[in-house]
Amino acid sequence: MEEKKSNSIKVILYISLWVIIWGTFGSFIDYPLYKNKIYLEGSIYQYLTFIITAIISIISAKFFYKKFDL
């Protein structure tokens, strides 16, 4: 029982880490586009930026999950 609880905590931390990575990565891409007035805040393009970076993050997280023993 203790092993399963420990494994669940590791998985939750792993997912949390990837959410932080996704938000940071998306913001790094979004900021210059927004500041250079390529699109406006709240526009469909800003949403697309974060959706695309989320897809990249999910694919990366699945790839690296296989490499770690969680």
In a domain, 2, yes or no: no
Residue 23 has pLDDT above 90, yes or no: yes
Angle between helices 2-35 and 44-67 (to 10 degrees): 150
Q: Which is nearest to 57 in space by CA: 15, 12, 9?
A: 15
In a domain, 19, yes or no: yes
Length of the chain in terms of residues written? 70
Domain count for the chain, please give it: 1
Q: Can you give the pLDDT at residue 69? A: 75
Q: Which is nearest to 22 in space by CA: 64, 67, 70?
A: 64
The identity of residue 42, as a single letter, is G
Instruction: Characterise 69 by phi-psi region: left (phi > 0), alpha (psi -120 to 50), beta (else).
Output: beta
Q: Can you give the pLDDT at residue 67? A: 86
In a domain, 5, yes or no: no
58: domain range? 11-67
